[in-house]
Amino acid sequence: MSNAAPPTQPQPGKRVEVAVGILLRGSQFLLGTRPAGKPYAGYWEFPGGKIEPGETVAQALLREFDEELGVAIDPASVEIWRTTEHDYEHAQVRLHWCKVRRWQGEFQMREGQQVAWQRLPTTVSPILPGAYPVLDALAQECLNDASTNSRA
Ligand SMILES: Nc1nc2c([nH]c(=O)n2[C@@H]2O[C@H](COP(=O)(O)OP(=O)(O)OP(=O)(O)O)[C@@H](O)[C@H]2O)c(=O)[nH]1
């Protein structure tokens, strides 16, 4: 048995898998602040968290939304949308972004976080660096929708 302490620095090449939910209400999406005690505490992020061993992305998302916000996501409404990667000083993460359109329950900020419904451009800051590519992708999607509608 090894007495080695767990690594405090990210191991090169080892990515942490994360499930992230883009909760959609019309053209709005929900952001929340990172709780005290975590890296980047106070930064705004999409709700979600690390995928535990043996979990699927959707299972992790359901668990995280229950733990953080006390709401029950309808699994049939989870659309696994895209994957991005980001390298932080504390971790190298692979983010599995899911659109979520249906859930049940009232929001309870179980980790003392703030939440805000946002539309583009966002009005909260600072936002977690790893979330920017997806904000850009959402903006691109809005532009595409607008141009399709204007041609209809
Ligand atoms: N939830 C969430 N995490 C994100 C986003 N963007 C992004 O880079 N991340 C990164 O993904 C990782 C998520 O891990 P976490 O620490 O929040 O996960 P967790 O809730 O399972 O934490 P725990 O280890 O305290 O149980 C962090 O490194 C965080 O910086 C985002 O928009 N939402």
Distances (CA, A) of 127 to 13, 19, 54, 108, 135: 25, 17, 30, 21, 10
Q: Where do the domains of the chain lie?
A: 16-151
Q: Which residue's CA is the nearest one to ligand 1's atom 9?
A: 130
Q: Which residues line ligand 1 (CB under 6 A)?
A: 18, 20, 38, 40, 45-46, 48-50, 86, 88, 91, 93, 95, 128, 130-131
Contact 19, 98 (CB under 8 A): yes
Mean pLDDT across the chain, nearest whole number?
A: 91
Q: What is the pLDDT of residues 84-125, one digit of tens each?
A: 999 999 999 999 999 999 999 999 999 999 999 999 999 999
Residue 131's Cβ-count burial label (10 Å; 0-12, 13-18, 19+) is buried
Which residue, judged by its Cα, is nearest atom 8 of ligand 1? 130
- Asked whether residue 50 carries a pLDDT value surpassing 90, the answer given is yes
Q: What is the mean pLDDT of residues 124-135?
A: 98
Strand, coil or helix: what is 127? strand
- Alpha carbon separation from 110 to 35, 72, 106 (Å, rounded): 10, 14, 12
CATH of domain 16-151: 3.90.79.10
Q: Whole-angstrom distance between the N-terminal and C-terminal Cα of the chain?
A: 67
For residues 2 and 118, the model is more confident at 118
CA of 121 from ligand 1 middle (Å) equals 22
Which of 104, 121, 21 lies closest to 70 in space, CA to CA?
104
Measured between alpha carbons, how far is 84 from 136 in angstroms, rounded to an integer?
12
User: Ligand 1 pocket check: which of 93, 97, 110 to mutate, most ligand atoms within 8 Å of Cβ?
Assistant: 93
Tell me: pLDDT of 7 over 50.
no
